[in-house]
């Protein structure tokens, strides 16, 4: 048994917070009513859904009416992109995205390309940033949507979202931001940003899996993906996932409180301790992503002469949960498209490691990782025919 | 996803490292694909007297290296050449489908090392 268990994969998913679980429990059992029913059971559920929607809206400074609950972040991305494509195809059929999006965005755009839409994929620089000049140059008469992620899941880079929105809106083009990694972790204000669409996910912020939301600015027209009873203001039919929505609302309250209490600063401090410790203790470690404009809980690094899966399994054996963009961990033969788009060579991308901190991560946890990781890396390098000059 | 045997050998591989003055060396794979296996052999009286490996790769590549070196140690060169990737997989208790190429690298690594030895020794 490992000496310690340290979960550092919060970009994959977060544990359900105790208070979120408590808030959800009644709605899994005794408060089972359908929010669309007129009787007391239904009204009780409706009230809970409405209150939760208000909490979620408050987190991003939106109006409750602008929050459409979905079955997760991927569905919200699909609704934003396909919903726009179908609603606006009379005006144009050109969509702009970036090379480092989540598959929920990339694959949706590629599917639309097969349906006859045109796609421009913006490159990123070595820190994972899109260029505003590139975006500006890509916008055409027929462009109906710019969809770019707020912050990247693999390398933590935060995009220049304000400039992205300003650039697109100056030419009258709608903007969708995939905020799954950002919302709940850094302050996000849709009024200030003026974005049209923003994706959120509950399980990335200590809420339950299977529930997310799409912020849809008032007046922005979308075609629904799911037709039926007309729930969620006609944009997402189906009886509401009451317990999930209540959990999402409780998670939003928690996130609001954490942001007010300085979670960004504390997570940044531990993240910097981790990143500095890694580069101090391990030769040929290359931090990936932007050095400053990055998520406060996100550390990502590539090691020369290391294969990611081996590293993850050795870390796991020592009680540390992490992830990697290596080919072997993705189930495909290609390493992460994000790392490759940033110009990181294949052989280095195989040695990528992502460590994402959470609200319960302690300094002791970080020190434990800084004790174990250098040994894992040096042991694997000793096994390898490559990079002998390092060991 | 991995058998206990694979994890055991990955965590504690046998015959890892480099042999001084090897009689044959074989290297297969490439770093772009994320797998390189290098096999070192010492040959005496047509038998593999000693063997070691150095591998850059995933858990199944390291476990396959460890397993194949154990399997051919002490065998004649012709016997060693008959060890197939299926034999390696079987001894490992199976590999996930996308990892089968790791066992193939093990088979090819042994063949490359023996070929190198025979070339150096002038044996056809």
Q: Residue A157: phi, psi to the nearest 5?
A: -65, 130
Residue B34 has pLDDT above 90, yes or no: no
Q: Show Cβ contacts of residue B50 under 8 Å, excluding neighbours closer than 6 positions.
A: B19, B41, B42, B73
| Interface test mutation site (partner B, options A284, A310, A331, max chain B beta carbons within 10 A) | A310
- Residues A67, A72, A75, A79: what is their CA dihedral angle, to the nearest 10 degrees? 10
| Interface test mutation site (partner A, options B34, B38, B64, B109, max chain A beta carbons within 10 A) | B34
- The CATH number that domain A6-15+262-390 falls under is 3.90.1150.10
Residue A391 has pLDDT above 50, yes or no: no
Q: Would you say A96 and A143 are in contact if contact means Cβ atoms under 8 Å apart?
A: yes
CATH class held by domain B4-119: alpha beta
- Residues making up chain A, counted from first to last: 391
Counting residues of chain A whose pLDDT is more than 90, the rounded percentage is 94
Q: Tell me: domain A18-259, CATH 3.40.1000.10, correct?
A: no
Domain boundaries, chain B: 4-119
Round to whole Å and give the CA distance between A43 and A48.
9
Q: Residue A249: phi, psi to the nearest 5?
A: -60, -45
Q: A72-112: per-residue pLDDT in tens?
A: 999 999 999 999 999 999 999 999 999 999 999 999 999 99
- ipTM greater than 0.90: yes
Q: A221-237: per-residue pLDDT in tens?
A: 999 999 999 999 999 99
The pLDDT, as a whole number, for residue B46 is 96
DSSP A142: T
The pLDDT, as a whole number, for residue A127 is 98
The pLDDT, as a whole number, for residue A331 is 58
Cα dist from B88 to A39, A228, B14, B93, whole Å: 66, 55, 14, 9
Counting residues of chain A whose pLDDT is more than 70, the rounded percentage is 97
Coil, strand, or helix at residue A171?
A: coil
Q: Would you say B28 and B105 are in contact if contact means Cβ atoms under 8 Å apart?
A: yes
Q: Would you say A153 and A14 are in contact if contact means Cβ atoms under 8 Å apart?
A: no
Round to whole Å and give the CA distance between B95 and B60.
7
Looking at the complex, does the CB of residue B57 fall below 8 Å from at least one CB of chain A?
A: yes
| Closest residue in chain A to residue B11, using alpha carbons only | A314
Cα dist from B19 to A205, A219, B10, B39, B42, whole Å: 51, 72, 20, 9, 8
Q: What is the pTM of this model?
A: 0.94
Residue A126 has pLDDT above 80, yes or no: yes
Coil, strand, or helix at residue A88?
A: helix
Domain boundaries, chain A: 6-15+262-390, 18-259
Looking at the complex, does the CB of residue B55 fall below 8 Å from at least one CB of chain A?
A: yes
The pLDDT, as a whole number, for residue A2 is 87
Q: A347-387: per-residue pLDDT in tens?
A: 899 999 999 999 999 999 999 999 999 999 999 999 999 87
pLDDT band for position A389 (cuts 50, 70, 90): low
Q: CA of B16 to nearest chain A CA: how many angstroms apart?
A: 6
Let me know if A226 is exposed, middle or buried by CB neighbors in 10 A (0-12, 13-18, 19+).
middle
Round to whole Å and give the CA distance between A110 and A97.
10
Round to whole Å and give the CA distance between B69 and B106.
8
Q: Do A335 and B34 touch (CB under 8 A)?
A: yes
Task: Please say if A109 is a catalytic residue.
Answer: no
What sign for the dihedral angle of Cα A127, A191, A103, A91?
negative
Exactly one of A287, A328, A340, A390 is catalytic; which is it?
Answer: A328
Exactly one of B11, B33, B121, B123 is catalytic; which is it?
Answer: B33
Buried b or exposed e, range B63-99, using 16+ CB within 10 angstroms: bbbbbbbbbbbebebeebeebebebbbebbeebeebb
pLDDT band for position A63 (cuts 50, 70, 90): very high
Round to whole Å and give the CA distance between A294 and A284.
21
Q: A240-281: per-residue pLDDT in tens?
A: 999 999 999 999 999 999 999 999 999 999 999 999 999 999
Tokens of A58: 């408050």
Q: Strand B35-44 vs strand B24-30: parallel, antiparallel, or unpaired?
A: antiparallel
Residue A326 has pLDDT above 80, yes or no: no
Rounded to an integer, the average pLDDT of A205-220 is 98
Exactly one of B36, B37, B89, B102 is catalytic; which is it?
Answer: B102
Q: Strand A67-70 vs strand A212-216: parallel, antiparallel, or unpaired?
A: antiparallel
What sign for the dihedral angle of Cα A205, A207, A210, A211?
negative
Q: How many CB atoms lie within 10 A of CB B57?
A: 28
DSSP A271: H
Q: Residue A67: phi, psi to the nearest 5?
A: -105, 115
Angle between helices B100-121 and B59-72 (to 10 degrees): 50
Q: How many CB atoms lie within 10 A of CB A8?
A: 24
Round to whole Å and give the CA distance between A307 and A325.
10
pLDDT band for position A325 (cuts 50, 70, 90): confident
Residue A329 has pLDDT above 70, yes or no: no
- Most distant CA atoms of chain B, gap in Å: 44
Q: Find the CB nearest A383 among B16, B34, B98.
A: B16
Q: In chain B, which among 63-122 make CB contacts under 8 A with chain A?
A: 98-99
């Amino acid at each position: 048994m490992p000496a310690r268990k340290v979960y550092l994969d919060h970009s994959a998913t977060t544990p359900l917070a105790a208070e979120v679980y408590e808030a959800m429990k009644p709605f899994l059992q005794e408060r089972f009513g359908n929010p669309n029913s007129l009787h007391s059971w239904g009204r009780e559920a409706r009230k809970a859904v409405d209150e939760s929607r208000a909490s979620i809206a408050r987190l991003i400074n939106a109006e409750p009416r602008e929050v459409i609950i979905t079955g997760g972040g991927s569905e919200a991305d699909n609704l934003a992109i396909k919903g726009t494509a179908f609603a606006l195809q009379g005006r144009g059929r050109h969509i702009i995205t970036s090379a480092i999006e989540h598959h929920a965005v990339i694959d949706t755009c590629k599917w639309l390309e097969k349906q006859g839409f045109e796609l421009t994929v913006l490159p990123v620089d070595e820190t994972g940033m899109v260029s505003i000049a590139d975006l500006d140059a890509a916008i055409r008469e027929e462009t109906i949507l710019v969809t770019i992620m707020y912050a990247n899941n693999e390398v933590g880079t935060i995009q220049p979202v304000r400039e992205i929105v300003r650039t697109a809106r100056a030419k009258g083009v709608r903007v969708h931001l995939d905020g799954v990694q950002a919302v709940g972790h850094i302050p996000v204000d849709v009024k200030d940003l003026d974005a049209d669409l923003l994706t959120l996910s509950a399980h990335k912020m200590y809420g339950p899996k299977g529930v997310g939301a799409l912020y849809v600015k008032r007046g922005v027209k979308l075609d629904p993906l799911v037709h039926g009873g007309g729930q969620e203001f006609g944009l997402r039919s189906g009886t509401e996932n009451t317990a999930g929505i209540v959990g999402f609302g409780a998670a939003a309250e928690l996130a609001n409180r954490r942001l007010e209490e300085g979670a960004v600063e504390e997570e940044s401090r531990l993240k910097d301790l981790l990143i500095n410790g890694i580069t101090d203790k391990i030769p040929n470690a290359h931090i990936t992503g932007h050095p400053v404009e990055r998520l406060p809980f996100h550390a990502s690094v590539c090691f020369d002469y290391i294969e990611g899966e081996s590293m993850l399994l050795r870390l796991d054996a020592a009680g540390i949960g992490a992830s990697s963009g290596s080919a072997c961990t993705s189930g495909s033969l290609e390493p992460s498209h994000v790392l490759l788009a940033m110009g990181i060579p294949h052989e280095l991308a195989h040695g990528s490691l992502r460590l994402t901190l959470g609200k319960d991560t302690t300094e002791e946890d970080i020190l434990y990782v800084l004790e174990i990781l250098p040994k894992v890396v040096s042991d694997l390098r000793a096994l390898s025919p490559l990079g002998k000059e390092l060991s | 996803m991995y058998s206990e045997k694979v994890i055991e050998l990955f965590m504690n591989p046998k015959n890892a490292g480099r042999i001084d003055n090897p009689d044959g060396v074989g290297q297969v794979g490439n770093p772009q694909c994320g797998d390189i296996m290098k096999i070192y052999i010492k040959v005496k009286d047509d038998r593999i007297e000693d063997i070691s490996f150095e591998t850059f790769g995933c858990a199944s590549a390291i476990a396959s290296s460890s397993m194949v070196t154990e399997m051919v140690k002490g065998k004649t060169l012709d016997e060693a050449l008959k060890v197939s990737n299926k034999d390696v997989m079987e001894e490992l208790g199976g590999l996930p489908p996308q990892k089968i190429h790791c066992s193939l690298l093990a088979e090819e690594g042994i063949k490359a090392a023996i070929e190198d030895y025979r070339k150096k020794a002038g044996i056809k």
